[in-house]
Amino acid sequence: MSTIKTVKKPSSKVSEILQDYKLACESREASLLGRKEVFMGKAKFGIFGDGKEVAQIAMAKAFKKGDFRSGYYRDQTFMFAIGELTIQEYFAQLYAHTDIEADPASGGRLMNGHFATRMLNEEGEYNSVVENRNSSSDISPTAAQMPRLVGLAYASKLFRQTKELKGFEELSINGNEVAFGTIGNASTSEGMFFEAVNAAGVLQIPMLISIWDDEYGISVPKEYHTTKGNISKVLAGFQRDNEENGFEIFTVCGWDYEDLVKTYQKAAKVSREEHVPTLVHVQEMTQPQGHSTSGSHERYKSKERLLWEQEHDCIVKLREWILENGYVEAEELDNIEDQARKTAKEAKNAAWKAFMASIKEDERTAIDLLEQAQEQSSHSGALKSIKSNLEGTLNPIRMDSVKAVKKALRVLKSEDIPARKQLQDWVRRIEKENFERFSSHLYSESSQSALLVDVVEPEYDEDIKLVDGREVLQACFDAALARDPRVFAFGEDVGKIGDVNQAFAGLQDKYGELRVTDTGIRECTIIGQGIGAALRGLRPIAEIQYLDYLLYAIQILSDDLATLQYRTKGGQKAPLIIRTRGHRLEGVWHSGSPMGMILNSIRGIYVLVPRNMTQAAGFYNTLLQSDDAALIIECLNGYRLKERVPVNIGEFTVPLGKPEVLREGEDVTIVTYGSMCRVIMDAAEQLQEEGISCEVIDVQTLLPFDTGHSIVESIKKTNRVVFADEDVPGGASAFMLQKVLEEQEGYRYLDSKPITITGKEHRPAYASDGDYFSKPNTEEVFDKIYALMAEANPGKYPDIY
């Protein structure tokens, strides 16, 4: 290798370059070792950042305190470089170490390469994000980091341009923070990527996207992914010029240290100072070990390509460049490489030791107890073999001890010996601990949990003036915007006209365009905009115009927002409120109520289904005091129905998980929600005329569902239950049925079979007849409940038809 000394000036000091070289080598060693660990069976799967090291070091130099990252699984070197990941923590995640001290990103819940910083303390309150370098938590679906990135950057715009937010210096310093996104070249084919890029161009926000272009997406080369095989070429129309806003787009090679450092400085400066989105297309990157541990790239890359990758390896190139410039002798780089190997290995060993120790403790007690059982039991042979199997397990994990102890307890089931009791206690303790390890933090567990908000009843004046339901909401939103400058609402048609049903009418004029804002038609990034802004401590109300269009956003709600608290084990939160309207209007795409789909895909987000706008307003007030994310589905046909405005419109709250009895009755309990409440109440009135007394219960919130188990109390009285909604058969009605009959043990009190009354299997047909014959109507409810009663007492209820 040549060591020609030149006079070329370094862009950084030599020591900094060597420091960078060292980090690149350490990160590479971590990748190489990581793959070996998987092949040795010590970890299940591995995906690594080899080949992307130098660009990430350059990016890290432009990443300042208060900045945010939203990236993907290749970014280990960046995380090392900003000081937010140690090699030991990196391996702890590879092994799935369930302690947040060991794996702060996910507490062992996520595959390796899913990075995150802990933004919250143990109480669920913000650590100082402006003092830290922050990373939002990665998710696996490719490009799904992009919608959130829009919101992380958008928050800076709000902090800079909203006067009332100037005081929130613990959250932002005048919006100086840049949101850095990273994405692989192949993933830029996803719709979410294009939607996010367009949104950022429109919004003009400090967002810096890096595309790590290694020309492959697993085995598939670039010509299958990208028009012209080149994403920056495709995006050239987004480039800003003197006349028009847009992006500043840069291209650079992933092995060119000097150019990378310069490029990132330039790009970050543009984004930070001008609030203009920038895009850095980092080309000619490599994957020395191929995509992941699932395969080998020799299967699909040509010999020429593999050779090219070796020659263009960014660390090889950095080494050449250092030597060509005569910064140091080769020997010094050799030493750095040797040292890096040692450092990575030591960190790996320490992570393994800590991981094993965390597991061994429970295993040790299990083995001791099994030994005691063996001594005390008449089945000592069987117990001995269970114990020695456990002792002989190579790299045991938690489930090995659980399986062994449970097996032993089966053997001991008829023996009354002290060890049996101790083993039972062991199982109970471990079950509790494993629940905490693997199932905690699905929702907020902080003191601001939505379930802990104080209930404040609505109060009414003597004057019982009735207004349109939408005006109740309008008064509620007015109060919320006045009360808290962190609250802002946005969505399609939300700004100028105050949403299609005018619950924000006049509020943009009153609070300005940034507090009540129109957006493009882009449901997925509306949600992303909300997630990112909520992550940064703001209180967004993101609107999806109709429930039917939530489908465009269901993936990001499901994969990102719903998993956020869970996947960080309480390390991050995004208390986003999603407002939408549905249940009852007309036609296939304006009257859906796909509640089963929603309930089953977004556990982790509360789902609120108020029957009227007063209940909805109370929910908004509750949520704005809490740090949980929630979806509120208003009734499409309720905005013009008359309601009274409580005098404490900004303060009263409706609790989550508390059903309300709308009508008391003796014969049958009807469990329902949303627009169906009115249909059911009508039917109940008509049934009463036939002598059938219905108790009607509005569940009010589907998630959480009746936390106090009040519905079963009604069934104890009526001994019959009906679940009614507008979803397809087996949808949310089945969900409610499972909750009440299984969880609340309602089955014990039934004298008749439980029934569900639902919409048809197809989407609802158009116009009033379409609605009538597609969704449950009063007559159908009447008939079904009459038939239920007739079955029990045919004499009293003769056949009608």
Catalytic residue numbers, as ranges: 590
Q: Does position 185 bind ligand TPP by CB under 6 A? A: yes
**DSSP letter (8 states) at residue 285:** -
Q: State the binding partner of 652 from Mg ion, ligand TPP, none, CB within 5 to 8 A by kind.
A: none
CA gyration radius for the chain? 30
**Residue indicated by tokens 């109740």:** 472
Smaller CB distance to ligand TPP: residue 115 or 426? 115
Mark residues 344-363: x for contact with Mg ion by CB under 5 A, - for none: --------------------
Which residue among 71, 107, 151, 184 contacts ligand TPP (CB under 6 A)? Answer: 184
Tokens of 547: 């429930």
Alpha carbon dihedral 149, 150, 153, 155, in 10-degree steps, equals: -120
291 touching ligand TPP, by CB under 6 A: yes
> Judged by CB under 6 A, which of 46, 71, 217, 754 binds ligand TPP?
217
Can you tell me the distance from the alpha carbon of 659 to that of 578, in angstroms, rounded to the nearest whole number? 21
The size of the interface with ligand TPP (CB under 6 A), counted in residues, is 14
Residues 6+ positions from 736 with CB-CB distance below 8 Å? 671, 699, 702, 705, 723, 725
Binding residues among 46-75 for ligand TPP as defined by CB under 6 A: 74
Q: How many residues does the chain have?
A: 801
Task: Count CB neighbours of 102 within 10 A.
Answer: 20
Alpha-carbon distance 23 to 583, whole Å?
Answer: 56
DSSP H or E stretch at residue 779? helix 778-792
The residue type of 695 is E
| Cβ partners under 8 Å of residue 343, min gap 6 | 26, 29, 87
CA distances from 396 to 42, 355, 402 (A): 10, 11, 11
* 781 lies in the binding site for ligand TPP (CB under 6 A): no
Residue placing its CB nearer to Mg ion in the complex, 74 or 539? 74
| The one among 48, 63, 159, 216 contacting ligand TPP by CB under 6 A | 216
Asked if 71 touches Mg ion (CB under 5 A), the answer is no
Decide: is 182 part of the binding site for Mg ion (CB under 5 A).
Answer: no
Among ligand TPP, Mg ion, none, what does residue 142 contact (CB within 5–8 Å per kind)?
Answer: ligand TPP
Pick the stretch among 186-194, 199-207, 334-342, 777-785 that binds Mg ion (CB under 5 A). 186-194
The answer to whether the CB of 182 falls within 8 A of the CB of 240 is: no
Q: Is residue 184 part of the contact set for Mg ion (CB under 5 A)?
A: yes
**Which residues make Cβ contacts (< 8 Å) with residue 393, sequence separation at least 6?**
400
Cβ neighbors of 721 (< 8 A, separation 6 or more) are 668, 669, 670, 671, 711, 715, 740, 741, 746, 750, 754, 755
Residue position matching structure tokens 């009959």? 741
Q: Which of 140, 380, 388, 637 binds ligand TPP (CB under 6 A)?
A: 140
Nearer to ligand TPP, 282 or 635 (CB): 282
Query: How many Å apart are CA 592 and CA 637, to the nearest integer?
Result: 12
Q: Which residue is nearest to ligand TPP (CB)?
A: 184
Nearest to 600 by CA among 734, 785, 692: 734
Among 18, 130, 173, 218, binds ligand TPP (CB under 6 A): 218
Judged by CB under 6 A, does residue 212 bind ligand TPP?
yes
Of 231 and 507, which CB lies nearer to Mg ion in the complex structure? 231
Report the partner that residue 746 touches, choosing among Mg ion, ligand TPP, none (CB closer than 5 to 8 A by kind). none
* DSSP single-letter state for residue 237: G
From the list 141, 229, 326, 587, which residue makes contact with ligand TPP (rule: CB under 6 A)? Answer: 141
Q: How far is the CB of 73 from Mg ion (least distance, A)?
A: 11
Regarding 75 and contact with Mg ion (CB under 5 A), the answer is no
User: Are 482 and 457 spatial neighbours (Cβ–Cβ below 8 Å)?
Assistant: no
Which residues, in sequence order, are CB contacts of 294 under 8 Å at separation 6+? 45
> Is there binding between residue 420 and ligand TPP (CB under 6 A)?
no
The reply to whether omega before 147 is within 30° of 0 (cis) is no
Q: Which of these ranges, 209-217, 266-274, 384-392, 435-443, lies near ligand TPP under the rule CB under 6 A?
A: 209-217
The dihedral through the CA atoms of 62, 64, 66, 72 has a sign that is positive
Which of residues 185 and 675 has its CB atom nearest to Mg ion in the complex? 185
Q: Select from 56, 76, 185, 278 the one that contacts Mg ion (CB under 5 A).
A: 185
The residue (of 135 and 187) whose beta carbon lies closer to ligand TPP is: 187
Residue 364, token pair as written in the block? 């040790």
Q: Would you give the binding string for Mg ion spanning residues 213-252, x where CB under 5 A is met?
A: -x-x------------------------------------
For ligand TPP, give the closer residue by CB, 53 or 643.
Answer: 53
Beta bridge pairs of residue 517 = 490
Cβ at position 25, least distance to ligand TPP in Å: 20
The binding site for ligand TPP (CB under 6 A) comprises 74, 140-142, 184-187, 212, 214, 216-218, 291
The binding site for Mg ion (CB under 5 A) comprises 184-186, 214, 216
